[in-house]
Amino acid sequence: MPKTSSRSTPLVVIIVIAAIGLSFVSYQYSSLSARQILDLGSEEARSNAKIQAHDLSAVLANKIESASDNLETIATSKTLQNQDIEGAISMLNAAQKSSADITSTYSWLDEDGKIVWATSFSNATLRQQFTGADFSYREYYSQPRDTLKPYFSTLIESVDGVPRLTISYPIIGGSSTFKGVVVAGIEVNALGKFVQEQLVPDYKSSVGLIDRNGIILYSSSSSQYVGKNIFGPEIQSILQPDVKEPFNQFIRDSLTGKTGSGDFTSQGKTSTVAYNPVTIKGNEFAIMYIVTPHEFAGTVVALVEQQRTLNSIIIVGIGAVSAGIAALVLTWNKRLERMVSKKTSELIIRTEELEISNRNLEKAYEDLKIHEKLQTEFVNIAAHELRTPIQPLLGAAELIESQFQGKDKIEVTHPEIEMILRNAKRLERLSSDILEVSRIESGALRLNRETFSLAYIIAGAVKDAMNQSNFNPDKLTIRYHADDIFVHADREKTIQVITNLLTNAIKFTDEGTISVTTQRDKDNKLALVTVRDSGSGIDSEIVSKLFEKFATKSERGTGIGLYISKKIVEAHGGNILGENNLDGPGATFKFTIPLAEDIKTKQLDSFSRNPE
């Protein structure tokens, strides 16, 4: 017993030292992770606020600019120049209908400031009451009259008591003669509702609008301050003393026409406020503010879960080490039995590995049969695809040859040439796809990387896909909104991937809409390209093998386009996926490719200096 005790003492010391060491490591890791969580959550909130402020100000500017364009079109039209009242009424009503989500009325005032017509004349009583009413005292009449330039008002209260913003354009006749104005009225509540609907719900952000004079136009958190000056007593009285001066300076900076952001803490909660000017044709219309609370999102939650998992592993590890060493000390005399047990376990493991190997062989054999079946189907499909363009080519050639009959020259019609070119190009695409698969299989796929704009190549890819497919513009619409994102990739192969996805979307969408969008990922490392259609969707039989060779349920196509696209995207270090839409018919395909590092830095610098 004394000998056994003396042997146990060093091992017990080792257990204590290991437990203390692991606990210390666990504590240090927990502290570091907690700091990382706070930093990551705060940075995500700042980034989201800046992005939303930039995007929403652009969306709002575009929306208001559409109303401004309506006014310019009406003011310069021959209809108003010739005082054609019926034609003018039709144009005003059409303009109101096109921008009804933000405008409440379009009005026409003559050269004396008297109202000729307004789209808000919903009945004869209103028309009789206001036709000929004098509004020459309004700045939206006097400013265009005096300057012969468009006018963008601050907040005004209309005759019906509803606060509005107005845009007005002068009607200028020959020899720069002033002949009146056309005015669009924008209800503040409608404007705020439109902006609020554009917010991403997951960020729990709120929005506010202030005009260039500091007047609050809209606040999603409270409507009682609309129309109040941000520096007036009503607002200043509710500010905490410790944040009043920093807040006022922040607002003053935002009214200079620049972009920016800042963090504010109130009652222990921190939020990021980002601002961006809303500029309409060079005129600063308002300033948009986005308030985003520093709440943890998906990435931060994942980090917390990772920390919890590691802590659990450490605790289990400490217990396992302690139990193992204690078992070694207490069961020293059973060493031989453990060795026998170990050998038995190894034999069981070897047996299990052999069984796994047998199952793998069986699976490989089944996969080989499936591959052989797919290859046979591919040969049949490829033969059919080859015959389809070859037969009209042969027919055209025989027809042309039969027309010679001793002649040196004959006339060939344009439709015949188009048919020959179309089928020749179809053969070329099919042969190119087969050669591309061969290069991929042999490991000969090469990328010629360069820096280029996705917006530029997507426009070309859309045209290529429309030309290569049976595209019917009467039933199908392709919409694409590509941000000016620069990537570092193989230009031609990226075009090939986008064209393949668009061609597939056109093939399976008889009528409806196909949309193409681009965006950066949240880490600003990858560009995400999305192609969404409203067609028949992905067949359930091939959804699990969508990107495998020869996978197709269509009578048209070889089933290798998506396989080639997947290999090209993966060669760039990206990912590609396809899934049926959850919110309607059709399918959505997405893939990622790397952003250009040097361009990415320039884009971030440009964004912070000039959001426009």
Tell me the average pLDDT across 273-282: 85
The pTM of this model reads 0.44
Q: Quick one: which of 485, 68, 57 has its CA closest to 274?
A: 57
Q: Which DSSP letter does residue 470 get? A: T
Tell me the average pLDDT across 114-140: 85
- Average model confidence (pLDDT) across the chain: 79
Tell me the average pLDDT across 532-560: 76
pLDDT at residue 490, as a whole number:
92
Stretch (H or E) spanning 492: helix 491-507
pLDDT at residue 491, as a whole number:
92
Cβ neighbours, 10 Å, residue 462: 20
Helix, strand, or coil (residue 530)? strand
Q: Which residues contact 333 (CB under 8 A, 6 or more apart)?
A: none
Three-state secondary structure readout of 96-131: HHHCCCCEEEEEEECCCCEEEEECCCCCHHHHHHHC
Find out whether 150 and 169 touch, Cβ atoms under 8 Å.
Answer: yes
Task: Answer yes or no: is pLDDT of 601 > 50.
Answer: no
Tell me the average pLDDT across 180-195: 85
Q: What are phi and psi of 268, to 5 degrees?
A: 80, 0
Q: For CATH 1.10.287.130, list the domain ranges present in the chain.
A: 349-443
Burial (CB count <10 Å: 0-12, 13-18, 19+), residue 536: middle
- The per-residue DSSP string of 321-388 comes to HHHHHHHHHHTGGGHHHHHHHHHHHHHHHHHHHHHHHHHHHHHHHHHHHHHHHHHHHHHHHHHHHHHH
Task: Give 228-272 pLDDT, tens digit per residue.
Answer: 888 888 888 888 888 888 888 888 888 888 888 888 787 777 888
Q: For CATH 3.30.565.10, list the domain ranges present in the chain.
A: 445-609
- The per-residue DSSP string of 397-408 comes to HHHHHHHHTT-S
For domain 445-609, give the fold: Heat Shock Protein 90 (3.30.565)
End-to-end CA distance of the chain: 84
pLDDT classification of 608: cutoffs 50, 70, 90? very low
**Helices 561-571 + 491-507 axis angle, to 10:** 150
CA atoms of 29 and 50, how far apart (whole Å): 31
Cβ neighbours, 10 Å, residue 180: 25
Find out whether 179 and 208 touch, Cβ atoms under 8 Å.
Answer: no
Q: Please provide the size of the chain in residues.
A: 612
CATH code for the part of the protein at 349-443: 1.10.287.130
Task: Answer yes or no: is pLDDT of 219 > 70.
Answer: yes
Q: Which DSSP letter does residue 134 get? A: B
CA atoms of 493 and 567, how far apart (whole Å): 10
- The per-residue DSSP string of 264-319 comes to EEETTEEEEEEEEEEEETTEEEEEEEEEEE----HHHHHHHHHHHHHHHHHHHHHH
Specify the higher pLDDT residue, 421 or 120: 120
Task: Answer yes or no: is pLDDT of 609 > 50.
Answer: no
Mean pLDDT is highest, among 1-10, 270-279, 537-546, for 270-279
Specify the higher pLDDT residue, 179 or 227: 179
Task: Answer yes or no: is pLDDT of 202 > 60.
Answer: yes
Beta bridge partners of 194: none
Tell me the average pLDDT across 1-22: 62
- The per-residue DSSP string of 233-264 comes to HHHHTTS-HHHHHHHHHHHHHHTTT--EEEEE
Percent of the chain with pLDDT over 70: 74
Tokens of 509: 């969408």
* Mean pLDDT lowest among 191-200, 501-510, 518-527: 191-200
pLDDT classification of 376: cutoffs 50, 70, 90? low
Question: Which of 3.30.450.20, 3.30.565.10, 3.30.1120.10, 3.30.1370.60 would CATH assign to domain 1-330?
Answer: 3.30.450.20
Q: For CATH 3.30.450.20, list the domain ranges present in the chain.
A: 1-330
Fill in the amino acid letter for 183. Answer: V
